[in-house]
Structure formats: structure tokens, C-alpha cells
Structure 1
Amino acid sequence: MNNLLYLPNGMEAVEAEYNEFPLEEYNTNPFIQALPPLMDKQSIIKKLVSPISFKEEERNMDNAYRLHMIHRLYKLFQPLPIHLDIWNTIHTLIYQGYLARNPFDKNYRRYINQTGKKIINRTFDINARADFRTTSSCATLIGHSGMGKTTTVGRVVSNIPQIIAHNHYNGQHFQQIQISHLTLQTPSNSSLKALTLQFFMKVDELLGTNTFRKHVSRNLSTDAMLPLMGQVAQNSIGLLIIDEIQHLQNRGIQQMMNYFVTLMNSFGVPILFVGTPASYTVFQNEFRIARRVSGNGEIIWNNMMNNQEFLFFLESIWRYQWNRNFVSLNDELVNVFYEQTQGVSDLIVKLFVNVQEMCIASGKEEFTVNMVKRCAEKQFKLMKPMLEAIKSKNVYKMAQFEDLREIGHSPDMLITNQIKERIDVIHTDKKIVIETEKKDIEHKKHQDKKVVKNVEGDIRDILKKSGETYQLLVANGYIDDMALWLEGGGK
């Protein structure tokens, strides 16, 4: 176990202890060897899981205390398969990112010395091609709000010492402070200067340095501060986590993305982007970032389906009932919980807490399906349109809420994917013909096209009733006539 140290500013650090890895390339780099050993699946789960205190006799305690005990549920962390993916992605980014930044590699030392001189002499060109072969990459974690993205990333990196103090390595003097990971929030105004100042403030907070005061007092421009930020990050930081990336605005995307590319290419710093589906267009519009993200990791975290994963998550919290009368989980309760939360983990826990509060306050003291429905109706009023959009599976309806956009699809599509998969609409002179799906492709090729039969309420029925296809699709909610946008000037 690492010995704890305290820096002059009072921050806690660990003394570097060097591990031997089965990977030969990891055993010559102090930054990598000071990191924890890699783990198998079961060990990762044990590290991630966070149970909460609970005793059955607590159900007999006074209402005032039980109402407070329920809130322990917000500290519960139940690992799911996607959490293992996030763990492995983060560890890969950090370990691989340090490979090319070996402080005992003479070529790397020569490169950072040359880069440092250029930065001091103000001749460093942030857009120039670097004479440095980086091993860093970036990855994205994109998911619906309420799925626990930020919490999970924080949980994973909490298992890696953030500040590691080096003194000697393989009998050689080596004084260095290593920051294994650093999280920044995307500035809401897409300001690179705000990002750099936030970076210097966080580094100063961790290490007790005064880089922020020094650069602010000199009133350096953004162009001057960016290379300094890159130099500090290059010397020690294992992973830069950029959270809430969806806050990037159009006018700042290009400049911000150019700098992130420079951080990876010229300074060798890996990056993890975290955001909602609204941020996906940021990467699609920047090919250099999209190429790197696709190469190392792209984790899409949608709401849970009503399947084994959802059941497992619900079962993991269900035993934490502080109502006097314990109610076993059954299919009816499973379905009503899914209906009211649509598999959003944050809402599942909140509903579970709020129903218990209602049970205790009302004196009912046990779960019922009707109570779950009443509680959801009362507590989730603001979220009802979003939940209805998720429930509808209608891509356009979901696209109206940035946090719910279905990744990979344009919000102005005319019909949903589900419809596209079911029917193939073919327009002839004055009639609409539907080619039905057939499992046997060869048979399908020779089958005559059939005219759709009238099925009340089906989109095919809507299409058949009139040739005014566009107006009918608008009226039935499959597309928007854009009137609201036109009236509001596109805002």
C-alpha cells in the first residue's frame, strides 16, 4: 500500500511505489509503474460497488429517523456492464497515454526541452506539426442525463491516486509530482481562456503552485497561455477529463477542438469527453476528433430497456426498504417502475426514495402500484414530456430535447426508424405501394408488390387515406411543420 504524504499546501499525495507489469513496455516508465496494477472483472466490480448501511430492525424506528435513512440510497453505487467499459476505457487512456512520455527516454527529453524553449521564446506554433509520435488518444462517454456519467467517471478515477510523488526510480534521482487525472468543466461560453484559467486554478489547488496568479497578473493572451497549459499537462497529467462538452457553442467549437487536437498530438495528453447526446454533433463536425474517438473508444449510454439489466438494477436497491411492511418485488411493480422512469437510473432511485417517503408519511407503510403511480405523477411533473418522448420511441419527439437525442439520426427525419424497418414505401403514379418484409430475400425479389390494406391508426392507413402525405405526417406527429421555428426566427 502506498505511503501517504502531505504537500506544503496540505493536499494529500501518495509516495510512488513501482509495480511490475506483464507488459514489457510498461516496466521502463515510472509514470506507468506508479499506477495501480490492472484488474480482472471481479476485482473491478469489488472496487466499484458501494453498498449502504441497512438493518432490518431500522424499519421499527420512529418516522423522523427513517425519513432520513432513506436518503442513504443516493450514495448507493451498483456496477453494471457499462461501468466496466468505462473503467477499462479510462485505464487504457491513462496507461497508453504515458507510453510516449517516458521521462527517462532521451528522445522525449530532447523534445520537451525544445518545446519549452519555443514556448519561452514565443515561437511555439500551436498549429504546426509536432516532431513527436504520441501514444495518447481520446474517447467519448455520451449518454442521457440522469444515467450517472459524471458519477461513474468520478467513481472510476477515485481508484487511481490523483497525486503521486516521485523521489527515486531504479536507483536514480527523480523528483516529480504526477497528476494521474484532472477534470475540467466545459465553459458555457466556449471560451478557451476560461478553460485555461480553470486548468491553472485546479493545478494550483492540487500542487500549491502559483501558475494562475502568475499568468493572470501578466495578463497573457489566450494564444500565449495555451502552450503553457499544454506544457504543464505534458509534464505530469495522465488524463484530462472534459465534462459537459455539450456546452460548446458553434462559435467556439472549431477553436476549442483545434486545441484539443494539439494537446494530444503535440503534448501527448489523452482526453475523455463526457456529455449528453447534444454534444455528438461536435465530434461529427470535427473529423480529426471523430477519427481519434472512434479509434479508442466511444461509449453510448442510453436509458435501460425493460430487460434483465433493469431488473438487476431494481433488485439491487429493492431490499433497502425502511417501510415497516416489506413488499417483495413482482412483475407488476417492475413494470410500473419502468413505465414511470423509462429506465433512467437517477429517476429509478428517486422514485424508490419518494415512494418510501410517501408510504411513511401517509402511514400506509408498504408499496403499492397505485402509490408508485401517484408519487411519479406528483414528483415527475416537469419531466413528463421527456419521459413521454422516450416512451414513444419517436426519434423526432426525442430530438426536441437535447439530452434525449437519439445518436446517429437527424431530428428532421420524416419517419422513425421503426417505420423504416417495417415498410418500404414506393410512390407510383397515383397510389402508394408497400413492399412487405420477407425473411427469404430471394422470394422477396420475385414477389409482386402489394397495396396496403386499411389498418386503422397505422401510418400506412394514414398514407393511404390521402395523397397529401406531408400534411398527414405533420398532423400525426411524425414530422414538424417548423411553424414555431419560423415565427421565432429560428431561435
Structure 2
Amino acid sequence: MTNFSDIINVLPRMKSGTDLITALEVLPKYNPASCNADAPVRLMALSDLYRVYIPSQMSLEIYSKLYLALLRSMQKKGTKLAIQQQNQNYRAIIQQEYSGIMGGSDSFTIIGTSGIGKSSAISRSINLITENRVIEVDNPYTHVVPSVIVQCPFDSSVKGLLLEVLRKVDEVLDSKYYQNALRARATTDMLIGSVSQVALNHIGMLVVDEIQNVANSKNGKSLIGALTQLINNSGISICMVGTPESSRFFESAMQLARRSVGLQYTTMSNDKYFQDFCKVMFKYQYVKQKTEITDGILAWLYEHSAGITSVVVALIHDAQEIAILNGKEILNLESLNEAYEQRLSLLHGYIQPSISHGKQTSKIKKKTPISTAMVTQNKISDDRIRIADFVVQAKNESIDIVQLLKSNMPVVEVAV
């Protein structure tokens, strides 16, 4: 029999070290014989690349932060203050004067560049923390959802967010809080009281994703104010997840900055974790000609992904897809470059700054148009191209050698 005051004992034991890494890791089973299967089978098997999850230091920090935040929130369930706050929340629902006497547990942010794996780390951590999706309490009889994840509305609507919280709780508990709120045509003040009561009784931790939406909306500060009020009236922990765009919003005022203390991440450096990640992803090959990853490919992947793991996965997946469809059946620099040019063209403007093109130290020379006649002169009888001839031509005619080479053969620049 579980009492409300003993609810923290229901949570699974906190993991750390090798046990945590093993629990977070997801490596789908790979069968080398699948490379000989038909093209449709191999194309469908490629989707396993998106299931791979290799925990990083960021994953370990996010797990610890979420676990401790949930623990602090659960410790307030069933206390004398919680019962007093229930009475105050009921006064808010019936639109009487009320106050937040419980105080907040805490709020924090997880801010990082898009595509580095924030949402995946949060999802894996929450699945590990909440082994039992719903915690059942006998005295008093109730159900508690350890974690509820909602999206910040695109227009930062306070009412929209509060209704979404009720809808998410209804999905798990099969309750009717959302329908009742719509039927009662509840105002925002009534909804804050209602959601506070629901959070106090049924929610351990609230995760608000896409919080950067508050930065570009006139309702942004109102939404953060509503979340602050929700914290004070329910005592639950609130985690706000977003991109660096939201940092400027939280830095604009002291009370916002205090509410947004948390974890911040940028793109990865070309370190051991990134290289190990690329090596693991490269093992999932479904083309007929299997290749090994080289230092050149590792350097190319970093330069053409800007250290964003989701781009690495997309490059390796699409390169194999293209190679299977066009019959080349090999994963190499050529197929990777083809995937970068064809499939990731919209990302070039964001990835391009990380690629070193070399600095111009001398006066920029006026480019001379390269005619077809000039190109044919540099080909020998068997249609092979001699680079030495291009070097001589560039010197004689004051032409940029790199541009001349690019006009006659595929050239990929990699920073060293």
C-alpha cells in the first residue's frame, strides 16, 4: 500500500556511470547478410539508422537534472502545504481570491542548437526515469503521471498551453479535465487554478518543448508569468526546452533569467565522442559493397555537418539511399557528397561557415572566363586529365587554380 508521502520510494533507483550509459544506449540489431537482400528490403532497413542512440555527456547531465527535479517535485506531494494549496486552488477555480502558499520546486531550461539531440536525450531519460508510466497511490487513492511533455504554442497562447496540459493528462489517465474545461468555457484565471490543482494531484514534472516560441511573440512574457504562477500554485518542477534563440528572451529581465538557469549546449567539437558516433553509424551499411570509414571521411563528415549529429545521420542514410537507387551500391565520399548537394541544400547556409575555404592573402584577381577550347587542350589522347597542365595554364593566364580544377573535375575542400 503506497501513501502519498512515500511516493518518492516508487521511483526507480537513480543510475550513474556505466549502468546509465548502457541503459540509455539504443543499438538496433544489424545483420550483415541484409546487404544481399532486394533493394526495397534494404531501403526499409535503412530506417534503423534513425533508431540508433549513443549517449553523450549531455545525455548524462540531462538525465541527472530531470531525475533530481522530479524527486524534488515528488517530495512535496501529500504534505500539509500541498493540502492547504489544494484549498487555495479550488478558490481560484470558483474565481475567488486565492494565493500561492506552496512555493515552487524549481524551473530550469535545457537550451541547445537544433539537431544536437536534446529531445532524444530528454525522451530517453524520461523513459528510464518513469519505468512505471503511471504511479498508483492508495492513500489517498489517486494516480500520478511522473512526467508530462507539451509543446509551447506557436503564438505563446497561455490558454492554449494550459488546455494542452489538461489534454495530455487525459490521454494518460483517461480523465475528462479537458472536456470539462471546454464545456465550462473556462477563463485563463480559472484554467490556471484548474491546471494547478491537476498538477498538484497528478503531475510530477512538466516539460515544455519549443520554448523559443516565446521570443518572437508579444505573449511571451505572459506565458512565462503563467508558468511561474503554475509553479507557485502546484510545487511541480517545470523544464523549458528550446534553441539558443530563447536565451536572448530570458536574458532581457532579471526575473526571467532567474527562472531559466539550467543547461546550455552548442554544436559538438570534433572529439572522440563525435568520431565514435560516426564510426558506429558507418557500420550500419545496407549497400552491396561494404567500405570502412577513414580519417578523411571523418573529417568530411564533421565539416559538412558542423558537429550536428542529426545531420550526420541524414548524410549517411541519404548517401546509402541514393547509392542503392542509382545502382552504385557503395558508401564513400562521392555518395556522401552527392547526398550533401542533393538532399541537404537548404542547410548549406547554416553549415557552410564551418567549412574552411582558405583566406585570401593577396589582391583578388579578376576571374577570366574559362572556355571549352582551353579545357580540351589539357586532355591527353585517352581522355585523362593532367593536373600539371592546369597548373601551367593557371600561371600563364593568371587564373585561380582551384576554380579551374572545379570547372573540370569534382573537387571537395576539407579543412586540415
Superposed pair shares fold, TM > 0.5: yes
Match of 1:264 among 220, 223, 231: 231
SS of the residue corresponding to residue 208 of structure 2 reads strand
- Alignment partners' CA distance in 2, 1:257 and 1:113: 22
Q: Per the alignment, do residues 390 and 124 of structure 1 end up closer, same or farther by CA in structure 2, a change over 3 Å counting?
A: farther
Secondary structure of 1:229's counterpart equals helix
Distance in structure 2 (CA, Å) of the matches to 1:286 and 1:118: 31
Write the deviation string for residues 349-381 of structure 1: whole angstroms up to 9, x where unpaired: 111011112222333322322322122111111
Supply the AA of the counterpart residue of 1:202.
K
Instruction: Give the drift of 1:177.
Output: 0.5
Contact 2:107-2:237 within 8 A present in 1 as well: yes
1:391 offset after TM fit, Å? Answer: 4.4
Quote the Cα distance in structure 2 between the aligned partners of 1:391 and 1:286: 36
Distance change in 2, residues 1:221/1:121 (3 Å): closer
Aligned partner of 1:72 in structure 2 is 48
**2:116 aligned partner:** 147
Equivalent in the alignment of 2:205: 239
Partner of 1:22: none
Match of 2:322 in 1: 358
Matched-pair contact (CA < 8 Å) for 1:137–1:264? yes
Partner of 1:386: 350
C-alpha deviation, 1:390, in angstroms: 4.6
RMSD over equivalenced CA pairs, Å? 2.3
Change (3 A) 1:197 1:132: closer
Tell me the equivalent position of 2:249.
Answer: 282
Higher helix share: 2
Q: Which residue of 2 aligns with 1:106?
A: 80
Equivalent position of 1:115 in the other structure: 88
Q: Output aligned runs, 1:10-25, within 5 Å.
A: none
Give the direction of change, closer, same or farther, for the CA distance of 1:17–1:102 in structure 2 (3 Å limit): closer
Whether the 8 Å contact between 1:336 and 1:373 is mirrored in structure 2 is: no
Equivalent of residue 138 in structure 1, options 103, 107, 112 = 107
Shift of 1:121: 4.3
Partner of 2:61: 85
5+ residue gaps, structure 2, are: 364-416
1:310 matches 2:274: yes
Structure 2 CA distance for aligned equivalents of residues 199 and 186 of structure 1: 10
Equivalence map 1:249-260=2 (5 Å): 249-260=216-227
Change (3 A) 1:220 1:107: closer
Q: What residue in structure 1 maps to residue 14 of structure 2?
A: 38
Work out the CA distance in 1 between the residues paired with 2:70 and 2:283: 37
Q: Give the corresponding residue for 2:176.
A: 210
- After TM superposition, the structure 1 stretch with the greater mean CA deviation from structure 2, 334-343 or 281-290, is 281-290
CA–CA distance in structure 2, aligned partners of residues 113 and 229 of structure 1: 11
Contact 1:138–1:271 (CA under 8 A) maintained in structure 2: yes
Runs of 4+ in 1 over 6 A off after TM superposition: none
The Cα offsets for residues 57-90 of structure 1, whole Å up to 9 and x where unpaired, read as 1112222211221121111111111111111111
Contact 2:136 2:144 survives alignment (8 Å): yes
Q: 1:50 aligns with which of 18, 26, 40?
A: 26
Instruction: Report deviation, 1:144.
Output: 1.6
Identity %: 24
Higher relative contact order (CA 8 A, sep 6+): 2
Give the conservation status (yes or no) of the 8 Å contact 1:137–1:293: no
Change (3 A) 1:86 1:381: same
Tell me the alpha carbon deviations over residues 19-44 of structure 1, each in whole angstroms, 9 at most, x when there is no partner: xxxxxxxxx93221111111122121
- Residues 365 and 124 of structure 1: CA distance in aligned 2, closer, same or farther (over 3 Å): same
Larger displacement relative to structure 2 (112-121 or 260-269): 112-121
Pair 1:116–1:263, CA change in 2 (3 A): closer
Deviation at 1:107, TM superposition (A): 4.3
Task: Measure, in 1, the Cα distance between the counterparts of 2:315 and 2:259.
Answer: 39
Match of 1:158, SS?
helix
Could you tell me how far apart the structure 2 residues matched to 1:275 and 1:229 are? 23
TM-score (norm: length of structure 1)? 0.69
**2:46–2:317 CA contact under 8 A, matched in 1:** yes
Unaligned 5+ segments in structure 1 are 1-15, 19-27, 168-172, 394-454, 458-491
Within the candidate set 117, 121, 134, 1:163 is matched to 134
